[in-house]
Structure 1
């Protein structure tokens, strides 16, 4: 098939990584792929054979009209059989395209439980009939969009994100090497958080939880060695740095910034911690589980569907509950081989990137009226 993936941007983020991962999987299975980004820049790895276009759109009416015209010209030239849009701005632009021209079937995927305020929900509702299908990455997110009046229940379905289980897998040698590079020894309990440094990721709550654990160890005169590494960049970095200083965590917490070695860092961890208030379906939880890592997470949208009983879920915004759950998880460390295998197997069986990509191709084919004989078969 000829598949056009339309996205708001290609910077580092869960939705952007999913677009890149799907593109890689589609290309491996023999499909032609084009990726159109509304905004400039690319921080994710895209397949070399994919056609990549940046519309360089800005938040002005003139720029949006220009971007719509560029997209229309590209669609007529490249002739995709389906357009699959990701994230709110790309979703709405794809629907505008379908309103003004004879576009191929348009699928719109929402990735956040909070896609926006009333105006965005109104825009979704008014343009709903221009999409052949709307999907969300989690049931909680689907219900949020229905409750906001953005879409009727029968017009939206759940399609989960896929996890690259070949990239994210337990690797003892990688674990030892990365822990050594981080300057931690075999007795150090390592907690990892991966995410943009933005208010909705609530890393300040995680810092409060870690501070509680440090105070607990100090009062018990324990020799336990604890380190937290936070991977990511964003506008609240300076506020987090101030909190680290205020809480006396300078020797405990390290902000690593943007990294390209997240699989190795997850291998180095004993526990992955998610402190978010808002999510859609947090890919990094699946990546942590696929790496065999123990997981403690808040009850943000999509977490329970991914985590199941393979980790511990605590209330959002509750530093005490987060600290208690982390304390119990760290007492076991990364766990036994059987425990690591069980975590990974949950993702392999339910959320592997290859399985999700093939579900998407079946969906595309149905909407585009492509027969099974016309769809390339993946290599065995």
Structure 2
């Protein structure tokens, strides 16, 4: 029994979770499914990636509490066949919808978009996070992770059976392998200017690198003022630039000597896959189990401990050496991910339909049995 109507939601189309969600839509539409996207606001750099066929419902605000409280009523009115929660940031909305709608709530499938163990959590917060994850089995019908290692961690934390489905690949430019590169040596970072990404760590590393090395960070976020102040305080104004979002990030990756990601925590960082897909080596912190799955060979890049500044500097020096060989491009996985998600959705919807049919049949059988028993009880004794 197919999941003909899929409902999903987001505050706005900004960030890696939302970018991956947008890349899923066309595959679902192409297979005849109805897709409803509930948005806080139609904004964000990935809004243009939402295809025309997606039914978008906009609330007009980016209030987490507002979307959380509104969602159950919208689900009850639209009656989708399945709900897709696109990432960890949104699972409390799924839990609230299940609580409010109870048995009338459609099945909910969620994606594990961040690491189970976050590198920025105090031990008390880490304990609370583990308790929250252990309760996911109370409101989710299925959980998806993007790599085997993240699936194992998610299964241990939640007790759910976890499917492994990678994100659909990002579109990459048609780049020649002998593409020219700009003069000088430049490090590229791509991601939101938010605490999770720890761009301050990468900026600090620049003070230990030769003055001919530059750093460009493509992205936008709340930490722009703080990072700008750090750059000025360290005397790096001429070497570190924050140009904001770029629609041509893959081309920038292809032109960079190395792509760096210094995060405290990640799920499965797509920026690493995209950089390797255009043949650019990467340097990344061990921000999730998936990082070593992606950077699986020393020829592809270097993984360092989160707080190892010396190791980060040494890795950057290595890949910025003009004689360091660039890796061969690594194809991105996930070409069939929309189909794999639909197969999972369909199996869950079918299983629920079968259970309901069986329960309904049992109720009817029970009612007939009671009626027969009553007739026998009322029949006069011979």
Q: Taking structure 2 as the reference length, what is the TM-score of the superposition?
A: 0.77
The answer for the alignment partner of 1:155 in structure 2 is: 161
> Given the alignment of the two structures, is residue 131 of structure 1 paired with residue 140 of structure 2, yes or no?
yes
Corresponding residue number in structure 1 for 2:201: 205
Matched, 1:281 2:281: no
Structure 1 residue runs of 5 or longer lacking an equivalent are: 216-224, 371-380
Instruction: Confirm or deny: 8 A CA contact 1:112 1:279 kept in the other structure.
Output: yes
* 2:309 equivalent to 1:305: no
1:191 to 163, 169, 187: 187
Aligned equivalents of 1:95 and 1:240: distance in 2?
36
**Distance across 2 between alignment mates of 1:5 and 1:334:** 47
Matches within 5 A, 1:1-380: 1-38=3-40, 41-44=43-46, 45-55=49-59, 56=61, 58-60=63-65, 64-74=68-78, 76=79, 80-88=80-88, 90-99=90-99, 100=101, 101-113=103-115, 117=125, 122-126=131-135, 128-138=137-147, 141-142=150-151, 151-152=158-159, 154-164=160-170, 167-169=171-173, 171-172=175-176, 176=180, 184-185=182-183, 188-214=184-210, 225-301=212-288, 302-309=290-297, 310-332=300-322, 335=325, 339-341=327-329, 344-345=330-331, 347=332, 351-352=333-334, 354-369=335-350
Q: Give the direction of change, closer, same or farther, for the CA distance of 1:199–1:91 in structure 2 (3 Å limit).
A: closer
What is the deviation of 1:315? Answer: 1.0
Following superposition, the deviation at residue 31 of structure 1 comes to: 3.4
Distance 1:329 1:52, change over 3 A: same
Which of structures 1 and 2 has the bigger CA Rg? 2
State the SS of the aligned residue for 2:26.
Answer: helix
Partners of 2:145 and 2:139 in 1: CA distance: 17
Moved more, 113-122 or 195-204: 113-122
In 2, are the aligned partners of 1:7 and 1:85 still within 8 Å (CA)?
Answer: yes
| Unmatched tracts of structure 2, length 5 or more | 352-382
Task: Provide the C-alpha distance between the structure 2 equivalents of 1:212 and 1:170, rounded to a whole number of angstroms.
Answer: 35
Aligned to 1:375: none
Distance 1:173 1:321, change over 3 A: closer
- Structure 1 residues 9-34: Cα deviation after superposition (integer angstroms, max 9, x where no partner): 23321111110111133234443322
Cα distance 1:63–1:243, how it changes in 2: closer, same or farther (>3 A)? closer
CA distance in 2, matches of 1:72, 1:174: 55
Cα pair 1:5 1:86 within 8 Å, conserved? no
Query: Please, what is the CA RMSD of the aligned residues?
Result: 3.0
